[in-house]
Amino acid sequence: MRTALLIARKDLRQRIRDRSAFLWGLVAPFGLAAIFSFVFNPISDADFHAEYVVVNQDQGAIADAFLQQLQAMERQGIITARTVGSPEEARGQVETGSDAFAAGDEPRADAAFILPSGLSERVLAGQGGR
């Protein structure tokens, strides 16, 4: 084992002297990262926007905290959140699909959050929620 470490140490010293270690250790990875970022150009957060509906049957502390987080994302322009009265109405807006929304027939949503009554009590008691 000692011999292998001595050989590795010698090779590392040689690489540092001729500066190829910097090329392979820094320049090549950053160069590849730059190339891949131009090639695969991921969708930025500015392009993302979601429509959510919320049914708040709980009216407790956990539900309030959740709604505050949704409002913060809404202020940033990431989402639009609407409150509806029943889980059935929320499910209907999610199942409507984008075609009806484009036609202006009925509002649609990408997802629905249903906060059932007793959610805050269960979570604060350590029982969790769904």
Where exactly are the structural domains of the chain?
2-40, 45-124
Confidence of residue 6 (pLDDT cuts 50, 70, 90): very high
Type of residue found at 115: L
Q: What is the pLDDT of residues 75-98, one digit of tens each?
A: 988 889 999 989 999 988 888 754
Give 51's strand partners: 80
pTM higher than the cut 0.75 = no
Of 81, 92, 76, nearest to 56 by C-alpha is: 81
Of 46, 65, 43, nearest to 54 by C-alpha is: 65
| Encoded tokens for 28 | 């090549």
Give CA separation, 61 vs 13, 67, 73, 74, 98, in Å: 61, 10, 19, 20, 33
**How many CB atoms neighbour CB 75 within 10 A?**
9
